Amino acid sequence: METTSTEYSNQWSNTEVNVALCGISGSGKSQFINTILGLRADDPGAAPVDSFGSQSITGQYRHPEQPGLIFWDLPGIGTGKFGRDNYLETVNFDTYDFYLIFGRGRFYEEDAWFVKQVNLRRKRFFYVRTHIDQDIASKKRGGDKTSVEESCLDTVRNDCETQIQHAGIKAAHTKVYLISTRLQDKDKWDFPKLNSDMLQLLPRIKKETVAVAISVPYPSAIRVKSQYLLDNVWRAVFLSGILAAVPVPLLPLVVEYFLTLRQIRTYTNSLTQMELSWRRLGLTSSWKFQVAGVGRLLSEFLKLNLYFMVSPYCIHVTVFGCALSAFLSYRMTGFILHRALKIIEDEMLKMFK
């Protein structure tokens, strides 16, 4: 117990985590903050509740037990001033470390939109489904009072999880909390778990996010990744050799072309997927990489095509022809893919000079 609490406070030392509370208007973001702070809506310092979409200022509040945990009460989307068009820029959506997406009632299109926006920024979120007290109360009015609560919780939880996964989130990253934000319900349903998960997980999640942002684009990491891809080039090369042995005119050319293109796209994606991280580091010249890299790759492609024009189609139908075609394709694909990887790696490393 001692160790856990030490570890827990170590995690928070010097860490500030900025958490954005976002979601449709009326989903309970402001009341959630008041309840965390132990305040009622009319207490001094409380967040304004029932603003019905008119809230335009982003309020900032610190967690009472952990001042490093900063909540940003964003204006609601859906009614009032904010539609999707101007929302992200207005609330500086990119700048937060973590997101609590609030929802009520059914899972709305806006909820899925928030999930996607957070995911696009390679950040993490918890989905907080509020008003669970009302859902249970209305179910109880209509049916068997004993098992109603459990089945209502299961139904709501399953629905939220399924919808979040439809929006492109892995099950392991889908965290749903069913709560009521009323002060008297602070100890009920998932409220205590949400509070403790925020205190325990957020510094770790912040460290992961920062690690992704700064470690990957360094030259040493690029070289390691590129070496890994080089070590696996033989798979594509082997496949191209086998397919080139099939005695159908022009098949080797078509196979070579598409296989090589596909591989090059894979290399580019795996080495450049950290574009967002680069931007955070101020490396905004990735367009130079695109232009220079594509130019150099094109010239390699021209050489490849030249080779196929002189390749021995006339003797292709003989056993010797098939073997020769397979061998040439094997050597050429290997050559092209190695060159392509080197070019992509070179162009990326230039960005650090």
Ligand X SMILES: Nc1nc2c(ncn2[C@@H]2O[C@H](COP(=O)(O)OP(=O)(O)OP(=O)(O)O)[C@@H](O)[C@H]2O)c(=O)[nH]1
Told to check if 52 binds ligand X by CB under 6 A, we report yes
Q: Please tell me the distance from the alpha carbon of residue 178 to that of residue 19, in angstroms, as a whole number.
A: 18
Told to check if 76 binds ligand X by CB under 6 A, we report yes
Residue of the chain from 7, 16, 43, 50 that contacts ligand X (CB under 6 A): 50
Told to check if 234 binds ligand X by CB under 6 A, we report no
Nearest to 85 by CA among 55, 54, 115, 117: 117
Q: Please tell me the distance from the alpha carbon of residue 351 to that of residue 98, in angstroms, as a whole number.
A: 29
Yes or no: say if 150 and 160 are a contact pair by the CB < 8 Å rule: no
Cβ nearer to Mg ion, comparing 77 with 244: 77
Told to check if 103 binds ligand X by CB under 6 A, we report no
Please tell me the number of Cα atoms within 13 Å of 9 on its side-chain side: 6
Q: What's the closest the beta carbon of residue 91 comes to ligand X, in angstroms?
A: 11
Told to check if 30 binds ligand X by CB under 6 A, we report yes
Residues numbered 48-87 forming contacts with Mg ion, rule: CB under 5 A: 55
Cβ nearer to ligand X, comparing 180 with 240: 180
Cβ nearer to Mg ion, comparing 30 with 181: 30
How does strand 176-178 pair with strand 124-129? Answer: parallel
Cβ nearer to ligand X, comparing 26 with 252: 26
Give 154-162 contacts, CB < 8 A, sequence gap 24+: 156/129, 156/132, 157/129, 159/106, 159/107, 160/103, 160/107, 160/127, 160/129
Candidate ranges 23-31, 62-70, 213-221, 321-329; the one touching ligand X (CB under 6 A): 23-31
Told to check if 35 binds Mg ion by CB under 5 A, we report no
Residue of the chain from 17, 20, 31, 217 that contacts ligand X (CB under 6 A): 31
Told to check if 30 binds Mg ion by CB under 5 A, we report yes
DSSP state of 77: B
SS3 string, 17-71, reads EEEEEEEECCCCHHHHHHHHHCCCCCCCCCCCCCCCCCCCCCEEEECCCCCCEEE
Cβ nearer to Mg ion, comparing 30 with 329: 30
Q: What's the closest the beta carbon of residue 55 comes to Mg ion, in angstroms?
A: 5
User: CB count, 10 Å around CB of 1?
Assistant: 5
Told to check if 129 binds ligand X by CB under 6 A, we report no
Residues within the interface to Mg ion (CB under 5 A): 30, 55
Residues that bind ligand X (CB under 6 A): 25-31, 49-53, 55, 75-76, 102, 130-131, 133-134, 180-182
